[in-house]
Amino acid sequence: MDITEFFQQSAGKWVSQRTSHHPAFKQPEGGRSDFYIEVLSSDDPAVVQLCQEHGVDAMLAVCGVRTRWDGVMEQNKGKRAGTALLVAIADSAQPNQGKLLRPKSEAAPMVTGRYVMGDDDALTLVGESETLYSEERLWFASPNLRLRTSTIKQSDGFSTASFCSEIRMGGAPAQ
């Protein structure tokens, strides 16, 4: 499986159950969210524009993905909602890995990341900035069940580890 196939298999509406562990707080936190994944072709205007913002030739884009989510965490009852756009740029020497572009913003100083599509069909996403390191691993247990682990480490020593189970609720048909 390559990153385009992974994103295509991810398309649709999902519900996510999340458990996060914050070692500083010594207790886990649960949460739930609904999220939607839309795969964008490499010539989609949003993909082309994001490539231009990063000074990357849009012809190098493999695909893009637009996500939106709406959820709550147990400790913080306020809703968490947002959107994200990612564009995959494959490494010409190693096509199973490459860069991930995201829009620049004050809230998201980490505007590029990298991905690796493993031989086990698991996708690993890594993002780094001066103050943050994040790593996510996503894989399919079945066509309608996706699993995700993530770790986030901040320069001040704060860290979080999370596990999510994500169930497809609609959109792309099960295979």
60-92 pLDDT tens trace = 999 999 999 998 777 666 678 889 999 999 999
Closest CA to 122 of 11, 39, 23, 9: 9
DSSP label of 119 = T
* pLDDT at site 106: 60
Q: Look up tokens 């497809």; give the residue.
A: 168
pTM value is: 0.89
Helix (H) or strand (E) holding 53: helix 45-53
> Which regions of the chain are under pLDDT 50?
none
Contact status, residue 57 vs residue 32, Cβ threshold 8 Å: no
Query: 82: which 2 tokens?
Result: 């947002």
The residues, ordered by sequence, that sit 6+ positions from 105 with a Cβ below 8 Å of its Cβ are none
Domain 3-171, CATH homologous superfamily name and number: Calycin beta-barrel core domain (2.40.128.20)
Per-residue pLDDT tens digits for 140-149: 999 999 999 9
Query: 143: which 2 tokens?
Result: 């066509």
* pLDDT at site 81: 87
